[in-house]
Structure 1
Amino acid sequence: MKKVKVLLASVVGSIIEWYDFYLYGTATGLIFSTLFFPNNDPAVSILIAFATFGAGYAARPIGSIIFGHMGDRIGRKASLMLTLIGMGGSSFLIGLLPTYAQIGVLAPTLLVILRLIQGIALGGEWGGAVLLATESASKGIRGLFGSIPQLGVPIGLVLGTFSFTIISAFTTEAQFMAWGWRIPFLFSIVLIIIAVWIRSGIEETPEFQRKKEQGELAKIPILHVFKYNSKDIFRLIGLKIGDGFFNVFLMSFILVYATTYLDYSRDTALLGLTLSCASMIITIPLAGYFSDFVGRKLLYTCGLIGMIVLSIPYFMMIPINTTLFFTMQVILLGILWGTIFATQGTLFSELFPANVRYTGLSLGYQIAAAIVGFGPMIWTSMGSNFGASPLVFGGFMIVSLLISLVLILFAPDTRIVTKYEDDTKLDSETKEVQLNNDSNSNEQLTY
């Protein structure tokens, strides 16, 4: 029961994170570009609106430093309570904002401020949620446990999609644009209350508690991690960039791409996204479970290769008909990306020692997120210049995916070589390999 409660606490914040992510990503192209960034040229409005979308991503590394420091110095639990309030609270307030027509330039200004607050909070949520799960698991089931917080992506997105779909079905276009779009944002307050209640009843993770009792916490985690683990931060960034660009496209920009360039209706685009997200609910725990037997590296590599092979065919096939659109969304997002994402939390966390794990994991991941967050701006420009060109869009994805593929091929198999301390089953030979791979793995050092 204790383990179940920890897993529930880890995934509930992730659900809110991705519910908020989806709401903002969807509203950016469909709502904010019109109500908060009006312009005579619709393409300009969309471009400006997606700049605020990217600004939220850019703020994430700041949040990773702030909440990473707190998580590595005070505790994972305390940090995660604050990220919940920042994420959900900003989404709730977005639902209350007046539009440009009502208060002028102050409307987009307030929207950007709330988006930045949301981004800062998001910067600390993912890493903490992953550690809450993985640091509470033994080595044999760490992959499975690490995949559970990742379920927040499909669940949060399905909730977000469902909320927008329901509101859209029961309102006219005018009603939806006037007030209907606000309801899903306001619903965030309900999710916050539930999440805070669940997380308030959990204990600190065993690994952090052990470090704290032994007096081995890093004094300034950000300096410590760059001094002793900078290689792993850059490795993490490169590993995430490849699937990150495609992920943002498949889960956010696809709504603009499908409605603007492929003439699909908004409801059809939302249904395609919902189906692919729903399939991840099956893929993620299965991939996490198998990663404990075959390793995170193998699954990660297979997922990347699959996405590379299907990059151009995806953009060639989705315009043909809705069946192919739905099928390719499920394969690329639900199965291949779902497999990659299922392993990321555990794989990335296993690169860092416990005393700087929150900071290292969050910072590397969120720097990559800040980079890929500006993908929609790039694709908007690409679409304006080249239209829905499969070679242009598919080629872009292939280049970014190849970066991650090269890095994963040279990455350690973290199922065997890991920085977690509870691996009592590792034999002396494996431990010697682990020490030789990182001469600075002495976790007694503080900075």
Structure 2
Amino acid sequence: MEPERFSSDSAKAIISQFVGFLLDSYDLTMILSIAPVLAKVLLPPESALLATFNVILSYSLTIIFRPLGSAIFGNLGDKIGRRADLIITVIGLGLASALTSALPTYAQIGIWSFILFVLIRIVVGIFAGGEYSAGHPFAMEWTPYKWRGLISGLVQGGFSFGAALAAVVEGAFIDIYGLSGVENFAWRYVFLTALAPAVIALAIRLSMKETPVFEDVKNKNLIRRTPFFDLFRKPYRRDFLQVMLYMTGMFFFAYSLFAYVPAILEHQPSTFSLGTAETIYSFGTYAAFAGALFFGAMSQYLGRRRLTIIWAILTFILSIPVYYLLFNSAKVGNFVIASLASILIGIITQGPWGIIPIYLSERFKASMRASGVGFGYSSGIFIGGWFSIYVPLMHNYLFTSIDTPTNIWFSTAVLLMIGAVLVGIGQYIGPETLGTKLVEESQKV
């Protein structure tokens, strides 16, 4: 059965996933936005931009392990239920993220500091991949039909909200301790703050009940022996490959904001200080939250597929103009115009993410939903996760006459354009999912 109205259980499920997804983004953004600081702490002195690329690359290496987490915990979520799965993942994600604060520095143990950093990011990636495997289905299976689009946008907006919160927290630490203080010791305190959302999410999840949709799967004896491997068997294999193409483009969308807007604002010819750059970037993440909420709500009326295709076309057209606006305003130090550009980029790149929780939940049957949502989501990482290689390659070999030696605005715009093409094609070859029931019929195919 599917819920017909909101209940306290619905609210708990939604808040739980909002906070859990917030934690995932909080950790991600903390790494990406504080990359110049981590480069000085964990790596030997070298080019500031190259060192930042190395920190970002280390995160790319770790997110490649998210599919492994999705496979493990997605399969588990389809076997034992969404709730138990989520309790395990939030504990692992919170502790691993906070463990970053205990890292020794390069000055203390040399390159081993960076190696340990990468190993911690791998553990974070595994638990993060498991977090949305059961989390998105849990929230969507507790949401009444008419509210699916809006709640999908709200849940996904937790990611943007987490990014905004991370930027604010980092900015606050810079204001309190100064940049030198953050580089010397306060960066550890920044990562310790990840424990707060983890504790909140864990407290909520311990009080939750299993979803009625999964209870229905158990009552109908539909639990699969190998839900994860069923994704690659007919007739589900084509569905998975379509989702993978679509999600590859979506990851290009995501990192066009989260990875490279801070990099554009923090490196020459930008004249902004690190604190000012973080403030401008935070505006983009606030707008991203609003964009995801709007996109999710509109998809309930226009359809997931049609709205996404229209958005992809507009994104392709606007990519270069909006990134040039950001670059040029940073170059001349125009705070207002740079903030406007950051807001536009936040809306453009993160709006389409508003349908991901419900779209992926509607694409896969209840008995394989955690596996399908988790690994389908993570499958975009196989190609999209190497964004930290694509942009430097374009910067160094294709667009040297357009980018500056220390800034990558045009290469980032091209990354977003490629993402728009993949998202548009991915949705075009897939079905419209609006109206799909989340419960599964007794007869398994």
TM-score, structure 2 length as denominator? Answer: 0.90
User: Is 2:340 the partner of 1:327?
Assistant: yes
Identify the match of residue 7 of structure 1 among 14, 23, 46: 14
| CA shift for structure 1 position 246 | 3.0
- How far is the alpha carbon of 1:309 from its aligned partner? 1.1
| 1:339 aligned onto 2:351 | yes
What aligned pairs does 1:369-408 form with structure 2 within 5 A after superposition?
369-385=381-397, 386=400, 387-388=403-404, 392-408=411-427
CA distance in 1 between partners of 2:289 and 2:43 (Å): 35
Q: Residues 443, 136 of structure 1: CA spacing in aligned structure 2 closer, same or farther, 3 A cutoff?
A: farther
Contact 1:15 1:152 in 2 (8 A): yes
Q: Structure 2: how far apart are the matches of 1:8 and 1:280?
A: 18
What SS does the corresponding residue of 1:191 show, helix, strand or coil? helix
CA distance in 1, matches of 2:419, 2:196: 38
Contact between 1:243 and 1:304, CA under 8 Å: does it hold in 2? no
CA contact (8 A) 2:86 2:134 kept: yes
Which of residues 142, 145, 156 in structure 2 aligns to 1:139? 145
Q: TM-score, normalised by structure 1?
A: 0.89
Question: What is the aligned length?
Answer: 424
Q: Any conservation in 2 of the 1:58–1:371 contact (CA below 8 Å)?
A: no
Q: How far apart are 1:44 and its partner, in Å?
A: 4.0
- Rounded to whole Å, the distance in 2 between the matches of 1:225 and 1:52 is 29
Shift in Å, 1:97: 1.0
Distance across 2 between alignment mates of 1:407 and 1:373? 17
SS state at 2:231 partner: helix
Matches within 5 A, 1:9-408: 9-27=16-34, 29-228=35-234, 229-263=236-270, 264-321=272-329, 322-333=335-346, 335-385=347-397, 386=400, 387-388=403-404, 392-408=411-427
Look up the SS of the partner of 1:226 in the other structure: coil
Q: Distance in 2 between matches of 1:5 and 1:92?
A: 25
Instruction: Find the aligned partners of 2:201 and 2:227 in 1 and give their Cα distance.
Output: 27
> Could you say which residue in structure 2 is the equivalent of 1:432?
none
Aligned equivalent of 1:426: none
RMSD: 2.0
Q: Report if aligned partners of 2:391, 2:415 keep a CA contact under 8 Å in 1.
A: no
Paired residue secondary structure (2:224): coil
Whether the aligned pair in 2 keeps the contact of 1:241 and 1:401 (CA below 8 Å) is no
Identify the range of structure 1 (67-76 vs 5-14) with the bigger mean alpha-carbon deviation.
5-14
Counting aligned pairs with the same residue, the percent is 24
Do the aligned residues in 1 keep the contact of 2:69 with 2:128 (CA within 8 Å)? Answer: yes
> Which ranges of structure 2 fall in alignment gaps of 5 or more residues?
1-7, 330-334
Q: Is contact 1:60-1:370 (8 Å) kept?
A: no
Deviant stretches of 4+, over 6 Å = none
Tell me, in whole angstroms, the C-alpha distance in 2 between the residues paired with 1:311 and 1:173. Answer: 32
Take 1:372 and 1:181, find their aligned partners in 2: how far apart are those partners?
28
Which residue of structure 2 lines up, in the alignment, with residue 444 of structure 1? 444
CA contact (8 A) 2:49 2:267 kept: no
- Superposition deviation, residue 391 in structure 1: 5.2
Distance 1:40 1:162, change over 3 A: closer
SS at match of 1:25: helix
Q: For residues 357-379 of structure 1, give each alpha carbon's deviation from its aligned partner in whole angstroms, at most 9, with x where no partner exists.
A: 11111112112134323212332
- Contact conserved, 2:97 with 2:191, CA < 8 A, in 1? yes
State the alpha-carbon separation in 2 of the partners of residues 121 and 377 from structure 1.
Answer: 24
Are the structure 2 counterparts of residues 316 and 305 from structure 1 closer, same or farther at C-alpha, using a change threshold of 3 Å?
same
Counterpart-to-counterpart distance in 2, 1:359 and 1:383: 37
- Point out the more displaced range, 13-22 or 303-312: 303-312
Alignment check: 8 A CA contact 1:20 1:87 kept: no
Sort the Cα spacing of 1:234 and 1:332 in 2 relative to 1 into closer, same or farther, 3 A: same
Letter in 1 for 2:22: I
Q: 1:162 to 1:443 in 2, by over 3 A?
A: farther
Tell me what 1:427 maps to.
none
- CA deviation map 1:59-109 (0-9, x unaligned): 001001000011010111111111111211111110111111112233122
Q: Structure 1 pair 391/159, CA: closer, same or farther in 2 (3 Å)?
A: closer
Q: Which moved more, 1:102-111 or 1:350-359?
A: 102-111
Is the 2:247–2:379 Cα contact (8 Å) retained in structure 1? no
Name the CA shift for 1:309/1:198 in 2 (closer, same or farther; >3 Å): same
